[in-house]
Copies of this chain bind each other. A is one copy, B any other.
Amino acid sequence: MSVTAPKGFKASGVAAGLKTSGNLDVALLLNDGPDATAAGVFTANRVKAAPVLWSQQVLKGRAVRAVVLNAGGANACTGPAGFQDTHRTAEHVAAKLGGMGPGQVAVCSTGLIGERLPMANLLSGVDSAVRKLERTGGDDAALAIMTTDTRPKTTVVEGDGWTVGGMAKGAGMLAPAMATMLCVITTDASAGGDALHEALTQACRVTFDRLDSDGCMSTNDTVLLLASGASGVEPTQEELTEAVTKACHDLAQQLLDDAEGHTKKITIEVVGAADEQDAVEVARSIARNNLVKCALFGNDPNWGRILAAVGTTSAQFESDELNVAINGVWVCRGGAAAEDRSKVDLSGENISIVVDLNAGKQTATVWTNDLSHAYVHENSAYSS
């Protein structure tokens, strides 16, 4: 049910010819209200796609009536003309749906960077999408935003008389800073824009922001949260944040499950840190280390490479007080070899790395993948 699980939302997904495969490629989401509050977080990349620049402006008003999303082209690095394409898309959606201005229409795009969108296709796709809008359209919408994803990502979290739904896409360029590729979360809870913003930023901080598949930050990352208020229930801030975090966590794990060319899912937990920022910095330095990622692809519990990665950070630690466990085996204690590395069983898909900095009590977890032949293959052939 995806984004249409909560009351007050309609969605659709259509094939507009943006993908050469002929698959669904334009998604539309309508918030029927009564409320139209919204919050958004966007990529920290300083090279931002036109739809990101547009939607950032829209979200300043904390009111979104519709979201139009397309795959088959990122509309990034397309200059002023590309921005006008986005503006025109929002105007077209607002005119076709009625009852809203273009300033209440968020736009998201994903696909190849640096090429203009085929606007005739896109706008006629919007027309079809408007006609096909329905209360059960969330699954089609989730299909339409896929690029190299092998499967759609959706989630539903039930509150007490209210619901959170969501969809996301993303399989590469997955090192979001404030957000991941594209993600739309809906709720029929009644909540103001500030409450939504608080819930979304808290949720992203410990979910999408902790996902680092390949260290590459997209130009198009967007996470939107829309509330219709159709349930008539107003949850507390804590309840709202908890439900949104659960939805984001579920979608982030689905992104990890479908990351390009991975054979392993790696959970990196840093404990004993002086502060949370130290813990995140250390975990991310391991997640981004190609030699660590190749070793795990090869089922090699090469903890020396983990220590070499930790050593590149500015976190508080002494190198002779570092402990490392791989899948529960403490292969390194006090910065030197401890339990026999041959005890580590890396044959499964899930790998757990725990690094104890022995410098405090804070912790953080980052999720990543291994670096495989398939990743290289997929990413050396993407635009050709």
Contacts and interface: CB of A to CB of B under 8 A. Distances in A.
B380 A298 contact: yes
A153 B172 CA distance: 37
Given A319-B47, A319-B48, A379 B294 contact: yes
Contact of A295 (B78, B82, B289, B383): B383
Given A300-B383, A373-B373, A380-B298, A219 B307 contact: yes
A295 B382 contact: yes
Interface stretch (A6-14, A120-128, A194-202, A210-218): A210-218
Interface stretch (A111-119, A250-258, A273-281): A111-119
Nearest to A320: B79
A20 interface: no
A180 to B, nearest CB: 14
A45 interface: yes
Contact of A173 (B217, B288, B308, B384): B308
Interface residues of A, number: 69
Interface in A289-323: 289-291, 294-295, 297-300, 302-305, 307-313, 317, 319-320, 322
A171 to B, nearest CB: 12
A76 interface: yes
A47 B376 contact: no
A47 B311 contact: yes
Given A77-B337, A298-B381, A382-B295, A311 B214 contact: no
A352 to B, nearest CB: 19
Contacts of A48: 311, 319
Contacts of A307: 47, 76-77, 113-114, 219
A206 interface: no
B295 A114 contact: no
Interface string A81-118: 11000000000000000000000000000001111100
Interface in A331-384: 332, 334-337, 371-373, 375-377, 379-384
A289 B216 contact: yes
Interface of A: 44-48, 74, 76-82, 112-116, 172-173, 177, 214-219, 288-291, 294-295, 297-300, 302-305, 307-313, 317, 319-320, 322, 332, 334-337, 371-373, 375-377, 379-384
